Amino acid sequence: MKKLNYCYAVLAQKLSNFAENLAVPLLYQKKGDISSITDLRYDKSKNSVCDFYYIDNKEKRPVLIYIHGGGFISGVKRLRKYYCYEYAKQGFFVMNTHYDYAPQKKFPHQIHQLFKAVEFLFNNAEKYKLDLSRIVLGGESAGGYFCCYLAAVAKDKSLYEKFGIEFQYKDTFDVKACVLLNGAYDYTRLAKNKFFNMGTFLYSFFGMTRKELLSKEKQDKCSYFSPLSFINKDFPPSVVVEASKDLLGEESRELVKLLNSLGIRNIHLIAKGIVGIHGFCLAVKTKEGNRILAETMNFIKQAIL
């Protein structure tokens, strides 16, 4: 990666994280009876940390693994904690998961890293009374991308070897449902998209320009870049949330088409108003955000029964 491009990506990373930190108070809500344990280290790198949120009781809890977005180059997990609280209030044990950024680390590093996070969760299952037969994956934007990958691998175990993923619980890890918020999934569509800084996001994460991603000569190298290529009929029931004002809205619509073609149960929700802006699905205190959350919660509770 050229030094100038690298420096620009790191600057964009820092500015984006600064803006997200400023936005944290806007989403504030009291956590009430929720217990939280923050910055638990699941692997060696600086950003291999996660938070746990749960209400302490004697029953085994279903699990939500939440993965933040940020265009692959940024993202502050604490901005997502208030969204995660909503699941904890409904009886879920939530792991709010951080990971290494591009351009410092490129694809597929983060996929391997996130399986380390899942492994850490499994290692603590008995301690926190987790029901590992009821795992939900959730994430927005780039987080939705990673959720699709983890779910696809969980449903097709041959992909562990294909991706070279070392994971202790290959035989037991399963995903019962996905919550995919304003996701980005297909590198060819993204390479044509006019979303702000998209060229930087893709070059930082995949190490290829838009032109290279669309080049026929590069397709063998790019064949692993889209999780949609690995979704089969066993993919879990999914909530797909599209933001009405989002330049990435086509990503959600095309995913729904794929799920429908494979006979996979799903619900396609379209958020409007301020929640219709990319990434604003986290604003659950708004009327529209609350509606989307309620419909999402109803779907996944049925999916994990």
What pLDDT is attached to residue 252?
A: 98
What pLDDT is attached to residue 140?
A: 98
What pLDDT is attached to residue 16?
A: 97
What pLDDT is attached to residue 37?
A: 98
What pLDDT is attached to residue 275?
A: 97
Domain count of the fold of the chain: 1
Q: Which domain holds residue 269?
A: 3-303
CATH of residue 152: 3.40.50.1820
Which of 182, 189, 176 has the alpha carbon at shortest distance from 150?
176
> Which parts of the chain register pLDDT below 50?
none
pLDDT in tens, 49-98: 999 999 998 889 999 999 999 999 999 999 999 999 999 999 999 999 99
Which of 155, 165, 158, 156 has the alpha carbon at shortest distance from 111?
165
Bridge partners (DSSP) listed for residue 95: 52, 65
Cis omega (within 30 of 0) on the bond before 227?
no
What pLDDT is attached to residue 135?
A: 98
- Provide φ and ψ at 66, rounded to 5°: -105, 135
